[in-house]
Amino acid sequence: MHYETTAVTAELPERVWAAVADVEGWPKLIETYRTVHRLDSGPLAVGSRAHVEQVGLRPGDWQVSELAEGRSFTWQTSQPGVSATAWHRVDPEPGGGSRVTLGLEMRGLLGGTVGLLLRGKTRRYIDLELARFTASGDAAAPTA
């Protein structure tokens, strides 16, 4: 299963990135997150880990695998038979504002089955996350 969506907002990239990179703050911003607890300290970096609990999903530990400071990060988790990779990207828009792209891919022996079973919830959760990160009076509608 692969899902990616993008939206444009008038918010400055620095402001959007601050919200995206503050993973422990996500439960205050995005109601699908029960808790996000960093398992290490310091700024988000390659190798950083966090324990994530979301409503209706199995808790898991995510580890940052790629990071471009101020612009994007990718992290991964695995459960028996399934591995998931999620990405968060903030790009400056020509003329001002930001383009925010979020996505998730599930792989593994059970990745297709789990992805199919969770497809609707996954899309709703990612769309909601995107809406919260791009919240401003003139954010554009997400595109898949």
For 39-95, what is each residue's pLDDT tens digit? 999 999 999 999 999 999 999 999 999 999 999 999 999 988 999 999 999 999 999
Residue 131's CB: how many other CB atoms inside 10 A? 17
In the chain, the percentage of residues whose pLDDT exceeds 90 is 82
Residue 138 pLDDT > 80: no
Confidence band, pLDDT 50/70/90 cuts, at residue 136: low
Domain ranges of the chain: 2-133
Task: Dump strand ranges (E) for the chain.
Answer: 2-9, 33-38, 49-54, 60-68, 72-79, 82-92, 98-107
Could you say which of 3.30.870.10, 1.10.150.120, 3.40.50.300, 3.30.530.20 is the CATH number of the domain covering 2-133? 3.30.530.20
**Residue 2, beta-bridge partner list:** 105
pLDDT tens per residue across span 107-116: 988 878 877 8
d(CA 39, CA 57): 19
Average pLDDT over residues 21-48: 96
Q: Mean pLDDT over all residues of the chain?
A: 92
pLDDT of residue 58: 92
d(CA 52, CA 69): 21
Residue 142 pLDDT > 50: no
